[in-house]
Amino acid sequence: MVSTVGASVSSTAIASRYTAATHGPLHGKNDADGDRVSLSAPAVIASSSDSVDSLGLPSIKLFNASDVAEYQQTLTAALKAIGVDADTPIKLATNGEGEVVVRGSHPDKKAIEELFESDMNLRNGYVQTQNHFLFKKLASLNAQWAKKIEQGLSEEAAGLWLLNAAKLATGVSSNGLTFHGAGFDSPFGDNRMQVYDSYS
């Protein structure tokens, strides 16, 4: 079983902290490709009444765009080393055991899963890359939430919008990422996310 951070953290709280840590207040620049951020448990779990010391959680390091690009190069080289053609789309996800698995059919499914199983850095890099896409989306949703309030939407309605949007984004992210042609496709690059712009 792969060791992972075991906290139950509000996705909207993480996005808010991600935005503030990389770009200042929510009303600032809306570009989530800033410098790498290291958030301690107290910063992330801002609304939790639990003692962080009792949780014993490690800090959470977030990938930025440069980290993702570097990881994609590393993964491409690792796949090439075992004879896997990266031009064939690979649908990756994590299972309940924290393992990186190949979803659906792929001619090299077993070899790819064994590669991730044998290399902790590849596993962790995949999880951090998946989180990068999710946190960017959540940060964008937080910016939209702030804008809706500025435009006169009640805090209650805006909060409900943000809650629903964050749940949908998290659901989309849980389906994993597709890797091909030496890069990952964003899980939010299609019409599945358009609901966020029209929901009120």
Does residue 18 belong to any structural domain of this protein?
no
Does residue 193 belong to any structural domain of this protein?
yes
Q: How many domains does the chain have?
A: 1
Residues 6+ apart with CB under 8 A from 146: 26, 27
At residue 25 the predicted structure's pLDDT band, cuts being 50, 70 and 90, is very low
- Candidate from 55-59, 64-68, 103-107 with smallest mean pLDDT: 55-59
* 3 state SS of 119: coil
Angle in degrees, CA 143, 145, 149, rounded to 5? 115
Residues spanned by the domain of 158? 64-198
Does residue 41 belong to any structural domain of this protein?
no
110 versus 4: the higher-pLDDT residue is: 110
Instruction: Describe the crossing of helices 120-150 and 65-81 by its angle, rounded to 10 degrees.
Output: 150
Does residue 161 belong to any structural domain of this protein?
yes
Does residue 15 belong to any structural domain of this protein?
no
Does residue 35 belong to any structural domain of this protein?
no
